[in-house]
Structure 1
Amino acid sequence: MLTLPTYLGWNVDFTRPLGEPAFTQPDSVSWRVFKNPAALAIGGICAVLLEFADPRIRSGVWDYSTFKADPAGRSRRTGMAAMIGVYGPQSAARRIIQGVTNMHAQVSGTTPDGVPYHALDPELLAWVSATASYGFLTAYDRFVEPLSDEDTIRFLQESFPVAKLYGVESPLSSLTDFQVLLEKLMPSFEAHPINTEFLRIMKSGRAAPFVPRGLQGLAADAAVSLLPNPVRERLELGTEYHLTRSGKQGIRALGKWANRIPVPNSPAWDAAIRLGLPRSFAWKTPAAQAKILT
């Protein structure tokens, strides 16, 4: 049984209360995507880079969070917060999200260039939500298995209830919405040493001590490859982050392998227990899931 207090300080048990639903259904695209650790790692790094492109978000995270002392740990906590929204019982997800929102209410200040920011600014909330959806969705589509247009829309729509709890007024309903928001914000994007320091740590092997350093480096390069080209150019992330053809093949092989191998005591595994489903439910094909649910 996975209990988050072990390493995150959140009192969440994905196996209890028995029968309590999550905000997403077991046969959802979200259950399919978030069970895959390769997609989570790559998509999470991509999301952080997109967030930090905006100096207001970067300043807020740098000034108020543990990121500068523990960037890898902070990134893992962000990923786990997303997992709670997908797999956790609704009561626990509401409690965690309210706690995060309460913390964000205290986050305000000005960037080094004098631009004011507040973590609950609707525009910043929209961008943080959008970067997470874009990162995880695109990583899965690119490095695990292609998603149809229908599944892409389903994935985005499945995030609405949790995004609304975070205060997002207009969650993404299509990747076109992401592009519109990106074009609106991109004039303020800038290269910054925090971005490159974050990538250096992600490639150093410190982010996940039990994962080979070479794989962590590939994951970071893969994340950079997901950035829209204008963003990558604006952040000045050049050829030193080039994902080679062999690297891409290796990441894809890892992503496909991870899609088939159940992970005991993971959120997807424990959520299935809570809902009275086979523990490996999230790793089954959509056709096999449909048979179980009928």
Structure 2
Amino acid sequence: MTSAFLPATAFLRRALVRRVRAVFNDRAKGEKPVVRSSNALFPRDSVIWRVHGDVTTMMVGGVSALLLQMLHPAALAGIWDHSTFRDDMLGRLRRTARFIAVTTYADRADALAAIERVKDVHDRVTGILADGTPYSANDPHLLAWVHVTEALCFLDAWIRYGEPGMSRKDQDSYFAQFAEVAIMLGANPVPRTRAEAEALAGRMHPELHADPRTREVARMVLHQKAPGPAAMPVQRMVMEAAVDLLPRWARVMHGLPIRNLRLPAIRLSTRLVAGTIRWAFAGERSPLEK
């Protein structure tokens, strides 16, 4: 490798790091990357640090989890009635990503404060469903659904694009660790193993429903405006990979079929982007950390 090539490589890496960090941190609001702490809720060598530290898989898993969550009428109502997703979808995804980063990597006091802020916001997210049933974002049962969709989607995206050979033991460790945050948020029941998570998701299936409003919200999520022209191809890739990650029954409910001929291209491009971003952040923290 020539000496002339090294500066160009370093420049490209720095430029990519800056661009990705800008997506996850709103400078206009004074947001800065989360500081990793030796006093975090979880130790540095924990599985949850490994899973939550990958940019691409967390984006894919996050969108997939959101698509699953909105199939529950109460979760959809909370998004529709109280969220700013129509005008600020990127902001909503940023807030979710920051909460995950803070509760995974930041000092324990900061993590606990973030959890209390979310609980306070949830206290105000209440309403009445079309059939007259009241809903609340702090309902333990609803929180359990939100948690299990996130845990399954974050982990499955990581396995597909980051660690295909991940052991069942490590997968169970991830669920056990992530369960601590869910319990502090008030979720119940909370799965502590992969088997428990899959069983809980299965029990929730009869409560799920899709209607025109569900599909409208899904359309807004999947076709949101990209932060800039350069981000458009990557954003499209993330959305396609997120739909691909959904279980088949969820894709059918959303009316989001994927042609089998598209799958190799979707998965290959996602692996390439994931590898490129990992290369750029080699020796760096993830976009939400410093």
TM-score by length of 1: 0.80
Q: How much has 1:134 moved relative to structure 2?
A: 0.9
| Residue identity in the other structure for 1:78 | T
Match of 1:27 among 37, 45, 52: 45
Asked whether 1:129 is paired with 2:108, we answer no
Q: Aligned AA for 2:264?
A: R
Q: Tell me, yes or no, if structure 1 residue 225 matches structure 2 residue 244.
A: yes
Q: Does 1:93 align with 2:121?
A: no
In structure 2, do the counterparts of structure 1 residues 205 and 168 end up closer, same or farther at CA, with 3 Å as the change threshold?
closer
SS at match of 1:173: coil
Distance in 2 separating the partners of 1:104 and 1:129: 14
Q: CA deviation at 1:13?
A: 6.9
1:21 and 1:209 mapped to 2: Cα distance?
A: 37
In structure 2, list runs of 5 or more residues that go unmatched: 1-20
User: Is residue 138 of structure 1 aligned with residue 153 of structure 2?
Assistant: no
Partner Cα distance (1:51, 1:128) in 2:
6
CA distance in 1 between partners of 2:235 and 2:38 (Å) = 36
Distance in 1 between residues matched to 2:226 and 2:129, nearest whole Å? 27
Q: Determine what percentage of the aligned residue pairs are the same residue.
A: 29
CA distance 1:255–1:13, change in 2 (3 Å): closer
Are the equivalent residues in 2 in contact too, given 1:189–1:235 (CA < 8 A)? no
Rounded Cα–Cα distance in structure 2 between residues aligned with 1:100 and 1:223: 25
Alignment RMSD, CA only? 2.9
More helix as a share of residues? 2
Q: Following the alignment from structure 1 to structure 2, what is the Cα–Cα distance between the partners of residues 158 and 211?
A: 36
1:124 Cα deviation from its structure 2 partner: 0.4
Aligned residue identity for 2:104: V
Match of 2:84 among 42, 63, 66: 66
After TM superposition, the structure 1 stretch with the greater mean CA deviation from structure 2, 89-98 or 207-216, is 207-216
**Is it true that 1:253 corresponds to 2:272 in the alignment?**
yes
Residue in 2 aligned with 1:14? 34
- 1:119 partner amino acid: A
Distance 1:55 1:24 in 2: 33
Deviations 1:123-142 (A, max 9, x none): 10111111111111011111
**Paired residue type of 2:184:** L
Shift of 1:265: 6.1
Give the deviation of 1:211 after TM superposition: 5.0
Aligned to 1:114: 132
Amino acid at match of 1:216: Q
What's the CA shift for 1:170? Answer: 3.3
Give 1:116's aligned amino acid.
P
Q: Secondary structure at the match of 2:87?
A: coil
What residue number does 2:175 align with?
156
| TM-superposed deviation, 1:262 | 2.1
Give the Cα separation in 2 of the matches to 1:144 and 1:169.
30
- Which letter maps to 2:193? S
Structure 1 segments, 4+ long, off by >6 Å, are 2-5
Q: Find the residue that maps to 1:109 and give its secondary structure.
A: strand
Residues of 1 paired with 2:224 and 2:69: CA distance? Answer: 22
- Is the contact between residue 129 and residue 168 of structure 1 (CA under 8 Å) also seen in structure 2? yes
Q: Is the 8 A contact 1:145 1:256 kept in 2?
A: no
Q: Decide whether aligned partners of structure 1 residues 118 and 60 sit closer, same or farther in structure 2, where only a CA change above 3 A counts.
A: same
Whether 1:238 and 2:257 are equivalent positions in the alignment is yes
The alpha carbon displacement at 1:244 in A equals: 2.8
Residue 69 of structure 1 aligns to a residue whose secondary structure is helix
Report Cα offsets for 1:234-284 as digits up to 9, x if no partner: 2222237984312211111222333344274646752xxxxxxxxxxxxxx
